[in-house]
Structure 1
Amino acid sequence: MTQRTWEDTALTPKQRAEALVAAMTLEQKIAQLHGAMETIDIYGIASKATTAEEMEQLAAQIRVERHVAAIDELGIPRFRITNGPVGVGMGDGTPSPPATSLPMTIGLAAGFDPELATAYGDIIGSETATLGQHVLEGPGVCLHRTPIAGRNFEYFSEDPYLSGVMGVAVTKAIQAHDVIAMGKHYVVNDQEYERFRTNVEVDEHVLRELYLLPFEMLVKDGEIAAMMSAYNRIRGVYATEYRYTLTDILRTEWGFEGYVQSDFWSCRSAAGSLNAGMDHEMPDAKWLNEENIKNALSDTSLEIQTVDRALVRRYTQMFRFEQFSRPYAPGEIDAYGHGAISRRIGNEIAVLLKNDGGLLPLAKDLGRLLVVGQKTFAEKATTGGGGSSKVDPLYTVPPLEGLADVLSELDASVQVESVIVADDLANLADAVETAKQADVVVIMAGLVATEGADLPDMNMPHDQNRMIAELAPANPNTVVVLKNSNPVVLPWADDVPAILEAWNQGAEDGHVVADLLFGVVNPSGKLPTSYPMTADDTLYAGRPERYPGTDEGDGYPVIRYSEGLEVGYRWHQAQGIAPRYAFGHGLSYTTFEVGDVSVDAGTPGQPPVTVTATVTNTGQRAGAEVVQVYLGFPEACQQPPKRLVGFAKVAVEPGASEQITITVDPAATNHPLSVWSYAERAFVVPSGEFTVYVGTASDNTPHESRFTVR
């Protein structure tokens, strides 16, 4: 048989894609524009889901047929798509295949370490490939604009640069396994409230400098193969129909060569979406079906070249990763091998928020240790993440099991007890009495957020703040271990000596927390998002037009990003509001000194800016510190006080010193020295005096230097 042109591996992926599309009938083309799931009433079901449990029930209904049907006569394989970004979530098949339950993305960002992100993405890419899937829907790089957003656990940070750096590392690691990575949710899908209806109004410089920036980094630095368009409207137009973001910016400006998939049921039209630059509808053919496409072609609201373009874009990426020739042969995941890596990642992302008197790490001969908390956090491994990204774990290590394992490895003589507090706190008084008898009390508390619903407020659910407030006075040696997927308010923080944010850790929860409590590992994470003192200190407090939006006469909520660039730590610093714990904050069981800081701005007015510093471990334990570089812009630019432009994590032995170098390149894809110019329609480096801040948190930058751009 003569070889079909698209099977000629001497051709480029795009040439092969063009040859394949040229050989297809119209009906075959239309069949490949969409997923093969039968349409379900997602709108009706989602509108009734208000809790993580209800969203999981919804998820159970859509665990099948996350694919595009094969066309055997053309050699087009069944195109299998699985959800992310916190591991292999809902894959194609029934039931969804189990995989490694990793820490949530917000936790990964706390590592401030691209190497950790690479290890994280490597697990995801490897398992996606092992399970025979072609696409992993992730990473997610929307920002933590509000602390209550339901999908903050899937996103990295309130800072676009940190989000971009970590997202690029995850993307490259996934795609190294010949798996298509898909950046999401493009763009300003920063809330779950009324996500199918909400309209976001945002100024151009804010869109460019904050919300688009990590996506730009995914395209230019990560060479990401696919993007997922968001549910929401942008400036009155649905994201799947907004040509300005899908074509003008994504393709014309950034040079994106991949394809755009709709978020599930976010497609709102046939001709409108395809013309705007959306290429693939998932999970079904509600819009890109045969009747609609043929009608649109007939009335010329759609051209066949546009249909061809959409398919060529996707097939190009499939050929790029050799997915046409790969047989479907699912294998077995190395569950415990990948679990060991997950444990290492988890150990390096926990954030020590407070440690008065050096209560942590705990002594291995402390006597009686009481673990207390509600079932989700003190009895079970917190695998986290409700909704379509939830991973069905291969195994889990609950808290008490993890403690037993680690204490055995340490040959420790600690007597561990446990009290599980009812969600309604009915037995809280008994727990308080038991706490009085212990040598050390470890309270485990937190929250698990979910897709489909924002949190009602910044409090941990089931009255856990009251639980902690009543337990804390019972024992002076009380440690609070937080297992959160969003930042929370901590009204009791002054009443306990030690607080450790461990995040939703996933499968290795029990081992990771025990490692950290007993000093097997020295915590080195830094907060990737601010923890406000109270909910009144947030950008949306008393401002419903900022969130959840108001009806301005069109019948749907309009959310106005009127805070401009003042998001996260930029908000706190611009407004002069001190957070409880600032972006970049994180303590250690040792102490560090950052000195010999030098800033070289090169020839006057001709950066890059090179920052060098020496990090000395002045304590008794090995540990790691993160040096952070922020930039203050000329006053005329009207920017927030500081912008993160560089960071470096360095491990240092006791008494030793390590030198770090951080280069801030004005030509980098994050535009570190630039602002958006309305006049030039581009990023430009403004003239004037810049301030370089160097330190170990956004609110701890004692080293300052200045340079001038003329």
Structure 2
Amino acid sequence: MTSDTTASAPTGRPWNDLSRSPRERAELLVKAMTLEQKIAQLHGSMQTIDIYSLTADMGSLSGEEMEQLAAQIRVERHVAGIEELGIPRFRITNGPVGVGMGDGHPSPPATALPMTIGLAAGFDAALAHEYGSVIGSETATLGQHVLEGPGVCLHRLPTAGRNFEYFSEDPYLSGVMGVAVTRAIQGHDVIAMGKHYVVNDQEYERFRTNVEVDERTLRELYLLPFEMLVKDAGIAAIMSAYNRVRGTYATENRYTLHTILREEWGFEGYVQSDFWSTRSAAPSINAGLDHEMPDAKWLGEDNVKAALQDTSLEIETVDRALVRRYTQMIRFGQLERPYAPGEIDAEAHGAVSRRIGEQIAVLLKNENGTLPLDPGVGTIAVIGQATYVDQACLGGGGSSKVDPLYTVPPVPGLQDVLDGLGSSDVITKVTVADDLSNLAEARSAAESADVVVIMAGLVATEGADQADANMLNDQNRMIAEIGPVNPRTVVVLKDGNPILMPWIDAVPAVLEVWNQGSEDGHVVADLLLGVVNPSGKLPTTYPRSWDDTPFAGHPERYPGTDEGAGYPVIRYTEGLRMGYRWYQSEGIEPLFPFGFGLSYSTFDISDLTVGPTETDGTAPLSVEVTVTNTGDRAGAEVVQVYLELPTSAGEPPRRLVGFAKVRLEPGAAERASVRIDPAATNHPLSVWDDGAHDFVVVPGEYTVHVGTSSADTPLTAAVTVR
């Protein structure tokens, strides 16, 4: 018998005693359960259907097959309740770009926020908290208990299918953003779930592939944001990945799930499998997996009872898994909370989404003051393929896709903003066919317009990586042929991955707005017309060509090679040289570096002070600079602090260790301060030492580099660590 509600604490249910700690209550609850009840709570309640053949190789699924799979996941994201014990139906919804596929018939609509990669471009933890608060609030309003997010895998591969829902190529930036989002979600008494643990940095063969990575690289890069989620945000849940890690599936990997996560980091939450990533019963639970989703393929009654019978599994281990999950449910008051879904304030949350979207756009190029556009320019031709000019670009295919409450398409949004400015400009639109068969019509419209706005981009999807870093449907040729026709042409990029831009010299202005979500039309219009000043910075490097990336000529790095194991093996042989670290280590100039972003204003940073300049490696460092708005528009600049470690540390040239976003009126100046604490969870001064099995500070001279991107750090200071 199941229930959606939990009555007030009756006599005989000591686990409802609010004076006890969450763990004590969870232990009492588990003690009262029968074996069958315990097993029923180890897994989701989706009815097992003939879907495993479909998921055997997710990378080979067609779009239609992905939608079929998504439809099954959409309506069965729960664990059945047990009314006699007061355990509610446990409702789980996907993230992390808004409330995605939740438990409902159908999944309830929500605010479609900008993609997570874009949020990271804000370089603003407060903005990330607002983002997470919208998600947490809507999850709670819809009666859901768990939000599967944030995702903190890294942008190791520029073409990875899920980069849109991960933050950055930098572990520290990813961690800061993830911590802020997690705290905000859990502030609404919703369980946040960090994913995908760990090194699920590509979608290709994700059900089969094995990732080989050395310990130092694993610790300093790929584990670091997860460590920050655990230690700084108190995250309640972690989702294990599909892939193998050093030959063992992530769901069975005791070293990552237990030794690191619990013994070393002190994680007290529970671990859920990604959907259908569980591969066994006893080995998975023994390793540290606590919950199987979405069904009972492995942790069902027959398998668990058989494992208990042959002693490959102990009942205490089953109890441990349940206590971990119930502790978090009780921590957030979910046993007492009735199921009473409400209505989302679409207007209010849409306004937040619009404000966030406007602060994360990155101005990549702006020759001759092309932007912002004059509201009285005359005629504006909006040109692009249907995905980018006919509808709001929601982005992000797969299980995290949000069913939007409403959308603002590009042309209506542009018209709204023009009307608000009292402009009589005329908008024309040409929807370019995917095969470019009407390119002549688009060229003609561009020639006759006063301003041309070309909208182009890419919508990536879970389950598949891109074939390369080019936009689909020959959009490069579209831009290359239309761009030179009109000297006042702006390219607006709507994507969730870095892309190649062979046409970059053909246009004077490029604005990266990402997959914006519901408020696409308003956000882009506000940015183009200067209602707001773009202030985003790239959270990932944009290469000039694929040959400049770590993967050109290195199939062992991606897509992996067959080493006789029967599955692909991907080796992270680039080591620590990932993202901007790769380009700096190899002396390669990217098209646009990590941390880069222009403004409609100009800024100057000066008067760097760093102290102390000599330390034993335990004292926090204070970094201060003066930021001055030297332009004629209000705007924001991001001060970025990078650290160069002593040569003996054997590190890439620099690592990001701090940043501060400063908003200034024209002519105003402000002192910006960044604190670098050696004891912080991102280990800013430390390197991983295999011998010590810990992070250690290397003695020597450290150089502090301060600037406005990873490639533009004009201010430096030396710090000696004794």
Work out whether 1:659 is the aligned partner of 2:668. no
CA shift in 2, pair 1:223/1:134, >3 Å? same
| Aligned-partner residue type, residue 676 of structure 2 | V
| Aligned-partner residue type, residue 695 of structure 2 | F
Residue 376 of structure 2: SS of its match in structure 1? coil
Question: Aligned residue for 2:316?
Answer: 305
Residues in 1 aligned to 2:691 and 2:607: alpha-carbon distance in whole angstroms? 41
Residues in 1 aligned to 2:79 and 2:562: alpha-carbon distance in whole angstroms? 38
What aligned pairs does 1:192-271 form with structure 2 within 5 A after superposition?
A: 192-271=203-282
Residue 233 of structure 2: SS of its match in structure 1? coil
Work out whether 1:336 is the aligned partner of 2:328. no
| Aligned-partner residue type, residue 233 of structure 2 | G
What aligned pairs does 1:238-637 form with structure 2 within 5 A after superposition?
A: 238-601=249-612, 603-606=614-617, 607-637=619-649
Residue 353 of structure 1: SS of its match in structure 2? strand
Choose from 54, 73, 77 the match for 1:45.
Answer: 54
Question: Aligned residue for 2:28?
Answer: 19
Residue 70 of structure 1: SS of its match in structure 2? coil
Residues in 2 aligned to 1:63 and 1:364: alpha-carbon distance in whole angstroms? 44
* Structure 1 residues 162-209: Cα deviation after superposition (integer angstroms, max 9, x where no partner): 000000000000000000000000000000000000000000000000
Structure 1 contact 56–386 (Cα < 8 Å) conserved? no
Deviates more, 1:607-616 or 1:240-249: 607-616
Residue 608 of structure 2: SS of its match in structure 1? strand
Structure 1 contact 32–68 (Cα < 8 Å) conserved? yes
CA RMSD of superposed structures (Å): 1.0
Residues in 2 aligned to 1:54 and 1:70: alpha-carbon distance in whole angstroms? 30
| Aligned-partner residue type, residue 130 of structure 2 | A
* Structure 1 residues 326-367: Cα deviation after superposition (integer angstroms, max 9, x where no partner): 000000000111000000000000000000011000001101
Structure 1 contact 439–477 (Cα < 8 Å) conserved? yes
Work out whether 1:648 is the aligned partner of 2:657. no
TM-score (norm: length of structure 2): 0.97
Choose from 176, 184, 202 the match for 1:165.
Answer: 176
| Aligned-partner residue type, residue 30 of structure 1 | I
Structure 2 contact 370–508 (Cα < 8 Å) conserved? yes
- State the shift of 1:638 in Å: 1.2
- State the shift of 1:53 in Å: 5.7
Residues in 2 aligned to 1:673 and 1:179: alpha-carbon distance in whole angstroms? 34
CA shift in 2, pair 1:423/1:54, >3 Å? farther
- State the shift of 1:44 in Å: 2.9
Question: Aligned residue for 1:705?
Answer: 717
- State the shift of 1:51 in Å: 5.5
Choose from 664, 678, 694 the match for 1:682.
Answer: 694
* Structure 1 residues 524-566: Cα deviation after superposition (integer angstroms, max 9, x where no partner): 0000000000111111111100000001001100000000001
| Aligned-partner residue type, residue 512 of structure 2 | E
5+ unaligned residues in a row in structure 1: which ranges? Answer: none
Residues in 2 aligned to 1:221 and 1:527: alpha-carbon distance in whole angstroms? 24
CA shift in 2, pair 1:41/1:671, >3 Å? farther
Residues in 2 aligned to 1:50 and 1:639: alpha-carbon distance in whole angstroms? 40
Residue 372 of structure 1: SS of its match in structure 2? strand
Residues in 1 aligned to 2:172 and 2:66: alpha-carbon distance in whole angstroms? 31
* Structure 1 residues 617-668: Cα deviation after superposition (integer angstroms, max 9, x where no partner): 0000000000000001111111110100000001010001011110100000
- State the shift of 1:2 in Å: 2.2
Structure 1 contact 631–691 (Cα < 8 Å) conserved? yes
Residue 62 of structure 1: SS of its match in structure 2? helix
Question: Aligned residue for 1:692?
Answer: 704
What aligned pairs does 1:68-107 form with structure 2 within 5 A after superposition?
A: 68-107=79-118
TM-score (norm: length of structure 1): 0.99
Residues in 2 aligned to 1:65 and 1:51: alpha-carbon distance in whole angstroms? 22
Residue 272 of structure 2: SS of its match in structure 1? strand
Choose from 141, 145, 148 the match for 1:130.
Answer: 141
| Aligned-partner residue type, residue 7 of structure 1 | N
CA shift in 2, pair 1:269/1:521, >3 Å? same
Choose from 7, 14, 18 the match for 1:9.
Answer: 18
* Structure 1 residues 567-620: Cα deviation after superposition (integer angstroms, max 9, x where no partner): 110001001111000000000000000011111135433432110001000000
Residues in 2 aligned to 1:472 and 1:342: alpha-carbon distance in whole angstroms? 30
Residues in 1 aligned to 2:394 and 2:205: alpha-carbon distance in whole angstroms? 26
Structure 2 contact 366–509 (Cα < 8 Å) conserved? yes
| Aligned-partner residue type, residue 635 of structure 1 | T
| Aligned-partner residue type, residue 28 of structure 1 | Q
Structure 2 contact 494–515 (Cα < 8 Å) conserved? yes
Structure 1 contact 55–450 (Cα < 8 Å) conserved? no
5+ unaligned residues in a row in structure 2: which ranges? Answer: 1-9
Residues in 2 aligned to 1:499 and 1:69: alpha-carbon distance in whole angstroms? 50
Structure 1 contact 372–378 (Cα < 8 Å) conserved? yes
* Structure 1 residues 107-162: Cα deviation after superposition (integer angstroms, max 9, x where no partner): 00000000110000000000000000000000000000010000000100000000
CA shift in 2, pair 1:623/1:32, >3 Å? same
Question: Aligned residue for 1:669?
Answer: 681
Residues in 1 aligned to 2:305 and 2:613: alpha-carbon distance in whole angstroms? 60
- State the shift of 1:43 in Å: 4.2
Residues in 2 aligned to 1:603 and 1:148: alpha-carbon distance in whole angstroms? 43
Residues in 1 aligned to 2:349 and 2:717: alpha-carbon distance in whole angstroms? 44
Residues in 1 aligned to 2:65 and 2:34: alpha-carbon distance in whole angstroms? 42
Residue 719 of structure 2: SS of its match in structure 1? strand
* Structure 1 residues 415-474: Cα deviation after superposition (integer angstroms, max 9, x where no partner): 110000000000001111221111110000000000000011000000000000000111
Residue 298 of structure 2: SS of its match in structure 1? coil
Structure 2 contact 613–720 (Cα < 8 Å) conserved? no
